Amino acid sequence: MSIIGRRKIITAKTNGGSGSFSQEIAALNNDSPTSLGRKHTSKQHREKILAAVAVVVFLVLCLIIIPVLLFQRGHGDKSSSSREVSSHLRRSIDGPVPQLWVWEPWGYYTFMDSKLFNCSAYLADKTKPLPTMEYWQTMLNAYNQVVDPTYKFDDVVPPTQGYRLNEDGPQPYYAKLSPGKGRGVFASRDIKKGEIVHNGTKSDVVFPNATSWKRFMFALPRKMACDNAEWTFTQRYEEGGPMRIVSSLNIAILMNEGDTLEQVNVEPQNEDRNFSEYATVLYATRDIKKDEEILMDYDDYHTSFLAAGLADLILSPESCRSLETCSVSEFVHMFKIMRRDIPWFMPAVVVYIVCSLAVMYHL
């Protein structure tokens, strides 16, 4: 057959003969037009899956990085907010105080559990010695510097002995180690039932707000900060009143709790001599012998760090056990703190949103 004849046959097949040329080529490659379409669709499906996985990974990383930034960052900072705190007092903690945005979301339990303070082992030791005058003076210096510059120790009774209860002198107890309980307070004389044993109005220090308590924590050496965390409690002084953050800068704060209600020998009572969780004066509920340990019931005061503003914003045992259970207000508060104190935070959020929208558009 001539070349012209072969060209006519090929042209005829191409223009609608027994089978199209493209179909023959596809058949040779074992690929029909239908299979080619399926492969193309499968490829798009894989790309969508990979893009979705990338978005999920990115979101997870963001959820991990934000808590890490909040709780781990801060060493080496030399910002003005760090210098506001008496970091020179913190002899037992290496490095300066973390900047404000790092610890402002912290709550009571974050301080207790933080590796920065590492309180667990120290507080578990029941053989710790009694605080010395130098110890109390260091706490007072820190309190004067970051909380209340006007607060002073009693001129008559040093904190190692307590405080002046009345014109007759100090409260009727002294401090010493209690077997199995650690540091405690014991009756310095026989105390009769109904007698005033302790007056918190003359002994306690009340922090103006949660931030001042946190600043005080960072103003202390590590072990003192752990002590202060353990000694801190909350109390309302009247029904419906604000929950106050309370501690003490003398041996009164060493009063232990009874293991049973039978061991408890003091309780808060009001002026009518009735039990009251709002009272600050502790009365003897029975006769107490000299050298007997003074024991109270810690549950007499309703402790709520959440109500006092000391609940953790992340992973708090009180208010936020996981990222799923954190309230919207807590995330909003965190967002405001980071927006205010991290220069690159808002640009990073904008980039994140743009990237997310671009990925979703291509999906």
Is 11 a domain residue?
Answer: yes
Same domain, 244 and 139: yes
What is the helix (H) or strand (E) element at residue 186, kind and residue range? strand 182-187
Is 323 a domain residue?
Answer: no
CATH code (residue 199):
2.170.270.10
The most confident of the ranges 57-66, 91-100, 107-116, 332-341 is 107-116
Same domain, 24 and 134: no
Task: Please check the confidence at residue 28 and state whether its pLDDT lies above 50.
Answer: no
Boundary-marking domain end, from 300, 315, 331: 300
What is the helix (H) or strand (E) element at residue 284, kind and residue range? strand 281-284
Boundary-marking domain end, from 282, 300, 318: 300
Same domain, 24 and 136: no
Task: Give mean pLDDT, residues 40-62.
Answer: 68
Is 176 a domain residue?
Answer: yes
Answer positive or negative: Cα dihedral of 176, 170, 123, 297: positive
Q: Which DSSP letter does residue 331 get?
A: H
Task: Give mean pLDDT, residues 158-182.
Answer: 94
- Look at residues 176, 278, 274, 197 and name the one whose alpha carbon lies nearest to residue 236: 278
How many whole angstroms separate alpha carbon 175 and alpha carbon 252?
Answer: 8
Q: Of 247 and 6, which is predicted with more confidence?
A: 247
Biggest CA-to-CA distance, the chain:
136
Record the pTM: 0.64
Token digits of residue 311: 């609940």
Task: Give mean pLDDT, residues 262-287.
Answer: 96
How many whole angstroms separate alpha carbon 48 and alpha carbon 286?
Answer: 76
Same domain, 153 and 274: yes
Task: Please check the confidence at residue 70 and state whether its pLDDT lies above 50.
Answer: no
Is 330 a domain residue?
Answer: no
CA 122 and chain centroid, separation: 19
How many whole angstroms separate alpha carbon 130 and alpha carbon 146?
Answer: 25
Neighbours of 96 (CB within 10 A): 19
Task: Give mean pLDDT, residues 68-75.
Answer: 40
Asked if 63 contacts 315 with a C-beta cutoff of 8 angstroms, the reply is: no
Is 214 a domain residue?
Answer: yes
Neighbours of 269 (CB within 10 A): 17
Average pLDDT of the chain to the nearest whole number = 76
Task: Please check the confidence at residue 78 and state whether its pLDDT lies above 50.
Answer: no
User: Angle at the Cα of 61 (from 58 to 66), degrees rounded to 5?
Assistant: 125
How many whole angstroms separate alpha carbon 312 and alpha carbon 326?
Answer: 10
User: Angle at the Cα of 313 (from 309 to 317), degrees rounded to 5?
Assistant: 85
Task: Give residue 235's domain range.
Answer: 126-300
Same domain, 21 and 156: no
Task: Please check the confidence at residue 154 and state whether its pLDDT lies above 70.
Answer: yes
Q: Which DSSP letter does residue 151 get?
A: -
Task: Please check the confidence at residue 236 and state whether its pLDDT lies above 80.
Answer: yes
Is 43 a domain residue?
Answer: no
How many whole angstroms separate alpha carbon 49 and alpha carbon 324?
Answer: 25
Task: Give mean pLDDT, residues 172-192.
Answer: 96
Q: Of 349 and 135, which is predicted with more confidence?
A: 135
User: Angle at the Cα of 244 (from 219 to 313), degrees rounded to 5?
Assistant: 70
pLDDT-above-90 percentage for the chain = 44
Same domain, 18 and 135: no
Q: What is the pLDDT at residue 40? A: 55
pLDDT interval class at 130 (50, 70, 90):
very high
Same domain, 286 and 163: yes
Same domain, 146 and 254: yes
* Total domain count, the chain: 2
Same domain, 17 and 152: no
Is 239 a domain residue?
Answer: yes
Asked if 88 contacts 220 with a C-beta cutoff of 8 angstroms, the reply is: no
Q: What is the pLDDT at residue 250? A: 96
Tens digit of pLDDT for each residue in 93-129? 434 555 555 666 778 888 887 777 888 889 999 999 9
Asked if 215 contacts 310 with a C-beta cutoff of 8 angstroms, the reply is: no
Q: Of 129 and 88, which is predicted with more confidence?
A: 129
Task: Please check the confidence at residue 203 and state whether its pLDDT lies above 70.
Answer: yes
Is 158 a domain residue?
Answer: yes
* Residues in CB range of 102: below 8 A, 6 or more apart: 69, 70, 71, 73, 74
Same domain, 290 and 160: yes
Question: Which residue in this structure is represented by tokens 């609608």?
Answer: 16
